[in-house]
Amino acid sequence: MATEYPLLAFNFKGRIKSLIRSEAKFNGYIVEYIYDCYTEKKTYPTISELKQRLSCFRDLIAYRIVTSLPKCYLKPDESQEEADLRYLYQIANELPGFLEERGFTAEPACGVKKSTSPLLNDDVKPYYRDYICGNTSEDYQSLHITFYDNSSRSYMEVQLRTKHMDDIAEIGVANHLSYEKRQEASAPAATRSLWANASTLMKPTSAAAAS
């Protein structure tokens, strides 16, 4: 990839999600699904329904590709943001085919955060969750795609960001702690009450699982 884009500066990062973060996200999926199900149907979901919902938990292993075009290579009248975004989507268009040749299979995003960007090719749009479209430059922005590793038989997530997007996500207003505080503050009172009593909500499913 670096050979194809010699003018770009690349930063590759990898991580395995910590047990604490994994548990928090795992429990969040369960509580959210129970809440949505009970709100809509006035009944709790079955164990099989919960298992199906948790099948989307595929980012235990994740890699991040952060790109930036040095200012000396900017085209006349092109801003840093425009150039970085153009290259980011170019890489996004090529990444599924690039990794497919190396034993990975792109997983459909099932319509979650489907991209509306004209910079992303139609043939790869079904695989990406686009957190750039519709968000401002001060919000969390990133392209996410999940791959299945046919060799290790495991899933991994790849995130594509520009340097500005990565700075906002890691040390700016969109970092995890700030995001969670905003989510909690903006949540309706009923939802906050649900979060506070999540353990109570989980008892029916826990009992069913034990039996």
How do residues 182-203 score in pLDDT, each as one tens digit? 555 545 555 555 555 554 545 5
Model-wide pTM > 0.85: no
The predicted structure's pLDDT at residue 59 = 81
The predicted structure's pLDDT at residue 176 = 54
The predicted structure's pLDDT at residue 20 = 84
> Does residue 113 come out as left (phi exceeding 0), alpha (psi in the -120 to 50 range) or beta?
left
The predicted structure's pLDDT at residue 164 = 93
The predicted structure's pLDDT at residue 174 = 55
The predicted structure's pLDDT at residue 210 = 44
The predicted structure's pLDDT at residue 195 = 53
The predicted structure's pLDDT at residue 18 = 83
For residue range 48-75, what is the model confidence (pLDDT) as tens digits? 888 777 776 788 899 999 999 999 999 8
Rounded to a whole number of angstroms, the CA Rg of the chain reads: 20
Q: Distance from CA of residue 94 to its chain's centroid?
A: 19
Q: What is the pLDDT along the chain (211 residues), one digit of tens a residue?
A: 778 888 899 999 998 888 887 788 778 878 888 888 888 889 998 988 887 777 767 888 999 999 999 999 998 999 999 999 999 999 999 999 999 999 999 999 988 899 999 999 999 999 999 999 988 877 889 999 999 999 999 999 999 999 999 999 888 765 555 555 555 554 555 555 555 555 454 554 444 444 4
